[in-house]
Amino acid sequence: MKTLRTLSISILLTIFVLTSLSALAQDAPAAASAPAKLLRTQAWDKEAVGLFESLAIQEGGRIKPLKTYADVLLLKLNGRRSCRDAQEAKLDGTQWLMDCLFFPDSARQYKMFLIENSDVLVDLGLSYTKRRDRYSYDDLVAARTLLMDRARTYSSIEAPLRRLGQTQLINLATNMMDFESLTHALDVVRMRLDLRDTGPFSALAAGTGPQPVSALFPKAAEFSVALQALRQGQAQDPGHAAAMRALNPLGEAVDSASTLSFIAPPATDATSEWRSLGSLAGQLFGGQTPPADEAAVFSTFEALADAAPTPAVFTEKARALHTALAVRAQVRGEYRAIGLEVLYHKADLVYYSLCFYVLCFLGVAASWVRPKSLLLYRSDLFLLALPTVLLAIAIAMRCTIRLRPPVTTLYETILFVVWSAIVVCLFIEWIQRNKLGLSMGAILGMIGLFLANKYEVMEGEDTMPSMVAVLNTNFWLGTHVTTITIGYAAGLLAGALSHAFVFGKLFRVDKKVAGYYRPLDRVVYGVLCFSLLFSIVGTILGGIWANESWGRFWGWDPKENGALLICLWQLTILHAVRGRYIRDYGLHLASVFGAVVVAFSWFGVNQLGVGLHSYGFTSGISKALLIFYSIECVVMALGVLAWGLDRGPRAENPTEGNLA
């Protein structure tokens, strides 16, 4: 059997041949009348939606549920995982995807294309009512040609040199093409071919009229012979012209039906490539008949498309399709985590964790106003512990789904860092019971998960993608990456705790809360020791991994230099404290700058795009890092200001802050 790549080339060549002759068929009669509008008039049956949610597909190099694909694509287009239909009813990602597949004319009316800047619409000559709004495909289609022309022009400009509006226009063009591919993904199963009076294809015609594509599968060899005859025949022959008009839409439908790969190969097939409906129909052009079980799946899709207007029949056909596809994936062991991943997305534990951290932050603020309220304190502890448990469950679910440690992507790293930092904060609170760990945990949880959510929306991509080849090892991910991530998380936590010192001194908290600073000094010192231990061990493990992968322990790679810089800076702080070169102010200002060092060495060096670790580059993070650096510099400047204001009072108590 040919590979998918060979099939794709064959299909494209066929389309080219047919299209090149289509100009001669302008006067030929149409093969079929224009299809009726595909509009949904009833809500989707809940069982049918559930069946489609758990359909497995291969996309982006991994097997995932259709719900994941739908949610991510809608998030990319719409900025959120839901949209409104023409009647303003709310649709989740799967329901929206089902509308795109089975009722594309309805889906084209939904206002789901988020346009952040109205300058994009002005550039396209379209009117607008708000500077930031959502528009339907039908709203934008009039300017499609101009949009694609502008996108091609702006794409020739290097990304750093593009204006914001140009980048947004390119993104809009990409989103529209993705949407178009989706709405045409089932054209091949909706298609009915009338091959009567089509020259060499007339022998393949059904006597009763138009026939589905699957009816041609047993006649694939005859179809290929007829295709060769068409290529060699006289273009002026009316039958040949009619054949071209019938087959041109088939070629286009085959191409668009390659968007979704639903069909797992047989268990005996060593290839990991799943089949799409387009790849099955495309075998006709090579004279090959799809295997009987795959042809049966294709026929089931045809029946499903026909049954779309009738909910009860549609659900019955969807049940049969789900069973057939799930069995194929289960035999190959590739359906293992589909149900768990659907549950992960439906539970949305990360979102609910964020909500509880916000509530905890509000509760902590109230407890500082009423510091003696035991009820508020216990409520805040519960509101911090509960989302931390939920976040741990979410991370564990992701690890089970992927069979990977929780540090394989930047998104996962954010979740793991937030969770690790809050666990340390809970430990600090358990030891000291002075609301310091409680307050810092609430703040870090709220900010960290907000950033995770912002990153997910900004990237608009699957947060559980296939692994980069160099990272495809669970042992080193579980040892080096996890260890060093914990160390870096502790370094950032130490910097965050030092913010409490700076702002406490600036706003004279020491005059209101007794014993505020001495415990804080010791906590930051201890967290820095903890961070240094894990950073050094993680760096050494990274060197051992590098020796196994690249044949050298250390090569002064930018990422390696960054890891060394973190260790050296933390060693400098700890030695300076023990040698009494710095005390409270010096410790905390150095700790705040240590957070800058961690951020630069952990994420910043990846943006250089050089070295053996350049696979860690993340678009859009450079601006966020610059903002972070600026904020930390302001905090350090405020710390210096507080130190200047505090010099007089400190002279009266020179022993405060001595950790020796």
- What does the pLDDT look like over 475-489, one tens digit per residue? 777 788 889 999 989
- Give the whole-number percent of the chain exceeding pLDDT 70: 87
User: pLDDT confidence of 584, banded at 50, 70, 90?
Assistant: confident
Residue 327 has pLDDT above 90, yes or no: yes
The mean pLDDT of 281-294, rounded to a whole number, is 89
Quote the pLDDT of residue 634: 94
Quote the pLDDT of residue 13: 38
The mean pLDDT of 343-353, rounded to a whole number, is 95
Higher pLDDT, 511 or 530: 530
Q: Is residue 371 part of a domain?
A: no
Quote the pLDDT of residue 396: 95
Pairing of strands 133-135, 113-115: antiparallel
The mean pLDDT of 200-217, rounded to a whole number, is 84
User: pLDDT confidence of 18, banded at 50, 70, 90?
Assistant: very low
Q: Is residue 497 part of a domain?
A: no
Q: How far is CA 218 from CA 190, 393, 531, in A?
A: 19, 51, 67
The mean pLDDT of 557-571, rounded to a whole number, is 90
Residue 227 has pLDDT above 90, yes or no: no
Residue 651 has pLDDT above 60, yes or no: no
- Report the phi/psi class of residue 125: left, alpha or beta, with left for phi > 0 and alpha for psi in -120 to 50: left
User: pLDDT confidence of 613, banded at 50, 70, 90?
Assistant: low
Read off φ and ψ for residue 8, nearest 5 degrees: -60, -45
DSSP state at residue 201: G
Residue 32 has pLDDT above 50, yes or no: no
Q: Is residue 103 part of a domain?
A: yes
CA–CA separation, 84 and 91 (whole Å): 6
Helices (H) and strands (E) in the chain, counts: 26, 8
The mean pLDDT of 258-281, rounded to a whole number, is 89
Quote the pLDDT of residue 642: 87
Sequence-ordered alpha helix ranges (H) in 186-237: 187-190, 220-232
Higher pLDDT, 607 or 138: 138
| Domain around 120 | 64-187
Residue 655 has pLDDT above 70, yes or no: no
Residue 12 has pLDDT above 80, yes or no: no
The mean pLDDT of 627-655, rounded to a whole number, is 78
**How many domains does the chain contain in total?**
1
User: pLDDT confidence of 362, banded at 50, 70, 90?
Assistant: very high
Q: Is residue 163 part of a domain?
A: yes
Q: Is residue 128 part of a domain?
A: yes
Q: Residue 430 belongs to what H/E stretch?
A: helix 410-432
Q: Is residue 81 part of a domain?
A: yes
Instruction: Give CA angle at 129 (101, 152), nearest 5°.
Output: 60
Q: Is residue 516 part of a domain?
A: no
Q: How far is CA 572 from CA 67, 298, 412, 569, in A?
A: 50, 67, 30, 5
User: pLDDT confidence of 470, banded at 50, 70, 90?
Assistant: low
Quote the pLDDT of residue 3: 43
Average pLDDT, the chain: 85
Which parts of 382-467 are beta strand (E)? none
Higher pLDDT, 409 or 92: 92
Q: How far is CA 268 from CA 69, 262, 333, in A?
A: 27, 18, 12
Residue carrying the six token digits 């990409």: 174
Sequence-ordered alpha helix ranges (H) in 103-208: 104-107, 119-123, 137-140, 144-155, 164-183, 187-190
The mean pLDDT of 442-470, rounded to a whole number, is 84
The mean pLDDT of 286-305, rounded to a whole number, is 92
User: pLDDT confidence of 398, banded at 50, 70, 90?
Assistant: very high
Question: 504 near 635, Cβ under 8 Å?
Answer: no
Quote the pLDDT of residue 311: 92
User: pLDDT confidence of 658, banded at 50, 70, 90?
Assistant: low
Radius of gyration of the chain (CA): 31
Instruction: Give CA angle at 132 (126, 137), nearest 5°.
Output: 50
Quote the pLDDT of residue 648: 59
Q: Is residue 200 part of a domain?
A: no
User: pLDDT confidence of 515, banded at 50, 70, 90?
Assistant: low
